Amino acid sequence: QVQLVESGGGLVQAGGSLRLSCAASGSIFSIGVMGWYRQAPGKQRELVAAITSDGSTNYADSVKGRFTISRDNAKNTVYLQMNVMKPEDTAVYYCNANLRRYNRGSWTDYWGQGTQVTVSS
């Protein structure tokens, strides 16, 4: 089995910072893209940021310049540093990893359980 465990969510004032972490564990052969998504009440889940195994990154326009995604391949962990946070960043944040459990296995998406991030004005 594979588990993605997130941590670091919480309540922060506008202009503040939070750092999310997500560790993948279990039977994992290799991990490709890792990313963070978020879903606000009444809205669809959206991509926040993603990072490939060699460090290439992609960000939603709404977070560019404020959020930074990084990863530690040795620890199968992805991070999201969120700075200058805004009330519109309030959402449940989900970690995603596209990985193979076996050599020559298929690439499959796995999701964390989600962590609540609330930004007060």
Q: Are 59 and 70 within 8 A, CB to CB?
A: no
Beta-strand relationship, 67-72 and 30-39:
unpaired
**In one letter, which amino acid is 86?**
K
Strand 18-26 vs strand 2-7: parallel, antiparallel, or unpaired?
A: antiparallel
Q: pLDDT tens track of the chain, all 121 residues?
A: 999 999 999 999 999 999 999 999 999 999 999 999 999 999 999 999 999 999 999 999 999 999 999 999 999 999 999 999 999 999 999 999 999 998 888 999 999 999 999 999 9
Residue 107 DSSP label: P
Residues 6+ away with beta carbon under 8 Å from 52? 32, 33
